[in-house]
Amino acid sequence: MQITEILSRNAREWPNDTALVEINPQELENRHTTWREYSLIESSPVESFRSEITWAEFDEKANRFANFLLSRGYKKGDKVAILLMNSLEWLPIYFGVLRAGCLAVPLNFRYTADEIKYCLELSDADALVFGPEFVGRVEQIADRIPRVRTRLYVGDDCPTFAEPYRSLVAYCSSREPAIPLTDDDDAAIYFSSGTTGFPKAIVLQHHCLMHSCMVEQKHHGQTKDDVFLCIPPLYHTGAKMHWFGSFLVGGRAVLLKGVKPEWVLRAVSEEKCTIVWLLVPWAQDILDAIDRGDVKLEDYRLDQWRLMHIGAQPVPPALIKRWRQVFPNHAYDTNYGLSESTGPGAVHLGVENVDHVGAIGIPGYGWQAKIIRPDGSEVAPGEVGELALKGPGVLRCYYKNPEATKEILSDDGWLRTGDMAELRDGFIYLVDRAKDVIITGGENLYPVQIEDFLHGHPAIKDVAVIGLADKRLGEIAAAVIEVREGMSLTEEEVDRFCLDLPRYKRPRKIIFAPVPRNPTGKIEKPKLRKMYGADTLVARQNGL
pLDDT 10s digits, 140-149: 999 999 999 9
Coil, helix or strand at residue 441: coil
Per-residue pLDDT band at 388 (split at 50, 70, 90): very high
pLDDT at 43 over 50: no
Q: Which of 359-373, 448-462, 466-480 has the lowest mean pLDDT?
A: 466-480
- pTM, to two decimals: 0.83
Residue-level pLDDT at 527: 83
Average pLDDT, the chain: 89
Of 513, 511, 519, 504, give the one whose Cα is nearest residue 473: 504
Alpha helix positions (H), 181-229: 206-220
Domains of the chain: 3-299 (3.40.50.12780), 368-434 (2.30.38.10), 437-532 (3.30.300.30)
CA distances from 424 to 325, 374, 436 (A): 26, 20, 22
471-505 pLDDT, tens digit per residue, is 666 688 899 999 998 899 999 999 999 998 878 78
- Is residue 257 packed enough to be buried (19+ CB in 10 Å), middle (13-18) or exposed (0-12)? middle
Residue-level pLDDT at 312: 65
CA torsion, points 178, 182, 184, 190, in degrees to nearest 10?
40
Q: Are 74 and 127 in contact (CB under 8 A)?
A: yes
Residue-level pLDDT at 489: 93
